[in-house]
Amino acid sequence: MNKTLGIGIAGLGTVGQGFIKQLKSFKAGSKKAANIKVISVAVKNLRKKRNISTPSLPMTNNTMSLANNSEIDIVIELIGGSSGIAYKLVKKALSNGKHVITANKALLAMHGNELAKLAEKTNVSLNFEAAIAGGVPVVKAIRENLRFNSIRKVYGILNGTCNYILTKMENNEGSYQFVLNEAQKKGFAELDPTFDIQGIDAAHKITLLSCLAFDIPVNFKSTYVEGITKIDNYDFEYANELGYTIKLLSVATKSKDKIQQRVHTCFVKLSSEIAKVENETNAVVIEDSVIGRNMLIGPGAGAGPTGASVMSDLMDIVRETKNYPLGVSINKKKIMKIAKIEDLFFAYYLRISALDKAGVMAKISKALSKRKISIKSIIQKPSNKSSFAEIILITHKIKEALLISAIKQIKILPEVSSSVKFIRIEDSL
């Protein structure tokens, strides 16, 4: 533990600045951290104005130099992006026998298997606590502890931006678009929020958690992804009336022979713990057959939380903690089939806008009953469009393919407006 470790930091955005700030205050107070030396900090633009003072830092704009600098033992990749320079840097650094710490979930979701294999080959650490749920120590908890307990389900709120927007909508603070704009102004949402609001960021994260929890390879392309863009304030109104709220949930489950990996909005019971996770907070629930249930709640983003997680990864390397990057050796990972969303069973919230005429309900009911979809409850409301009514149906559990087929039939009814919305219900949380 007494050897000096040289670190190279690539990227000086929110996470990078948070980490450097913490490293400074930490070095002031700890002898152990005195053995950590910042050798190089790589940024794209040396002249960009930043919130932290950089003159004292060994800056470079040659990012790839970090992978080749013999004084650097640990490369900390905080650039982001699944390809390009981040990928090249991490690959090269691992090949050259340097430990890598990254906050880059996109990179790992796309190239995690390859990079883990490389890290195993050169016998170095590849740590990524900051990549999932920011300051919540969930990667370590699953990778080093909970994984041994036959985990059957990992789920949670993994995207703070979406949860912030949904919370504001639930509290009647405006429309989706208004709330998104406000979030952007406050810095809670990116200027280009696509990855967040489309569920892609959450999908990267749940793919990695699934890989860690179930000892399977990273398989992002099989993760089902839906974002929050189709939710409106009426959905919240109807949800509340029925005892639910709406969350963007990330879910991974394992049954005998199949994995589920999915991200989509869900109706969750107002009384559930997950419903109470508000604003930009993240939460992860781990259900297994030994412990039962663990829930971890904390901040999912921000300079402090992500910086702290990078620091935690660094201290694991300082302590010479040995871990396979993805829990077990990549050679021991078992490939399992990932279920298609159409083959899964859910109860559904269905929202149909239809002319307020006799016989419409009968036609809708017929389309459903033909496919053995039974209805648990119905609400009918006058629509904001005159002469239309909003029909809200809650179904019992049914295979999704059947619901999709029923919706197709309902959509072509002349009395029904073309948009028929459905949201899955997670009743068991």
| Choice among 105, 153, 168, 205 that is catalytic | 205
Q: Answer yes or no whether residue 144 interacts with its own copies by CB under 8 A.
A: yes
Q: What residues have CB less than 8 Å from 153, skipping those under 6 apart?
A: 251, 252, 253, 254, 285, 286, 287
CB of 90 to its own copies, least distance (A): 22
Q: Which is nearer to its own copies, 191 or 290 (CB)?
A: 290
Q: Which is nearer to its own copies, 101 or 110 (CB)?
A: 101
Cα–Cα distance, 338 to 265 (Å, whole number): 20
> Considering only residues 46, 148, 385, 404, which one is a binding residue for its own copies as defined by CB under 8 A?
148
Sign of the dihedral defined by the CA atoms of residues 259, 265, 269, 275, in that order:
positive
Q: Answer yes or no whether residue 385 interacts with its own copies by CB under 8 A.
A: no
> Considering only residues 10, 67, 146, 249, which one is a binding residue for its own copies as defined by CB under 8 A?
146
Distances (CA, A) of 384 to 232, 267, 353, 412: 13, 23, 10, 21
Neighbours of 56 (CB within 10 A): 9
CB of 255 to its own copies, least distance (A): 16
Within 322-341, the residues that bind its own copies by CB under 8 A are: 322-323, 332
**In b/e form, how buried is each residue of 402-424, taking b as 16+ CB within 10 angstroms?**
bbebbbebbeebebbeeebbbbb
Cα–Cα distance, 99 to 143 (Å, whole number): 17
Question: Does the active-site annotation cover 32?
Answer: no
> Considering only residues 34, 46, 295, 412, which one is a binding residue for its own copies as defined by CB under 8 A?
295
Interface characters, 177-216, with its own copies (x: CB under 8 A):
----------------------------------------
Q: Answer yes or no whether residue 297 interacts with its own copies by CB under 8 A.
A: yes
**In b/e form, how buried is each residue of 304-317, taking b as 16+ CB within 10 angstroms?**
bbbbbbbbbbbebb
Angle between helix 84-95 and 105-121 (nearest 10): 20
CB of 180 to its own copies, least distance (A): 24
Burial of 358 (0-12, 13-18, 19+ CB in 10 A): exposed
Q: Which is nearer to its own copies, 289 or 384 (CB)?
A: 289
Q: Which is nearer to its own copies, 49 or 322 (CB)?
A: 322
Could you list the residues that contact its own copies (CB under 8 A)?
Answer: 1, 22, 25-26, 31, 129, 134-137, 140-141, 144-146, 148-150, 273, 276, 288-299, 302, 304-305, 307-309, 311-312, 315-316, 319-323, 332
Catalytic center residues: 205
